[in-house]
Amino acid sequence: MNRNHIHMAVGLPGENGVISGMRGSCNMYIYIDTEKAFQDEIKFYRSSNNVILSDGKNGDGIIPPLYFQKVVKSSGEVIYPAN
């Protein structure tokens, strides 16, 4: 893929206002600790179709796992943080 940004959604598929940002084949949801990311100057942008975009921590197209608040399989199983 030749995308310039990480694409994220403002919510889960089917929620009000969630139209774009997530592929239908998505099997895992990563929640970002935006407060921590903002403190470390990771930039986020909102596109005209309500997709959240970021170029990553250092403009490298990566948001490191230390900014993950939680990771949930589409089945609802929480895999991070481990219980």
> Could you tell me which residues come within 8 angstroms of residue 52 by beta carbon, excluding any fewer than 6 positions away?
7, 8, 9, 10, 21, 44, 45, 46
Return the pLDDT at 1. 54
Q: What is the tens place of the pLDDT at every residue in 18-65? A: 666 567 678 899 999 999 999 999 999 998 888 899 999 998 999 999
Return the pLDDT at 12. 79
- pLDDT band of residue 7 (cuts 50, 70, 90) is confident
What pTM was computed for the model? 0.82
The mean pLDDT of 64-80, rounded to a whole number, is: 95
The residue that leads in pLDDT, 21 or 10, is 10
Strands (DSSP E) found in the chain: 6-8, 28-32, 45-46, 52-54, 68-73, 78-80
Q: Where are the domains of the chain?
A: 6-74
